[in-house]
Amino acid sequence: MFERTRTRSGGLEAVNSVVLGAKNMKTLINRFVKDESGATAIEYGLIAGLLSIVIIAAVSLAGTSLTAVFENIAGKLDESITTP
């Protein structure tokens, strides 16, 4: 795969450093692929975001309904006060 050439110092430093760098890169990539801790954090973040959207929608719908209920109660109270 690599052409082996001798340097002036008589060694194969250039080739060895390329091979060593490739092995280190392969090890790093394998470790990155197997590591799932970051994926779990992202999943929890997505779940929290989805829950917050659902809660905001539910509160806004409930708020609209509660406004109508309290307006109805206020109207009934006004009627009961003015009607003897």
Q: What is residue 31's three-state secondary structure?
A: helix
pLDDT on residue 56: 93
pLDDT on residue 27: 86
Q: What is the pLDDT of residues 34-51, one digit of tens each?
A: 777 777 888 899 999 999
Spatial distance between the Cα atoms of 14 and 19, rounded to a whole number of angstroms? 9
Spatial distance between the Cα atoms of 2 and 20, rounded to a whole number of angstroms? 12
Spatial distance between the Cα atoms of 4 and 6, rounded to a whole number of angstroms? 7
Spatial distance between the Cα atoms of 57 and 70, rounded to a whole number of angstroms? 20
pLDDT on residue 48: 95
Mean pLDDT by 10-residue block, N- to C-terminus, for the chain (84 residues)?
52 65 82 76 91 93 86 89 74
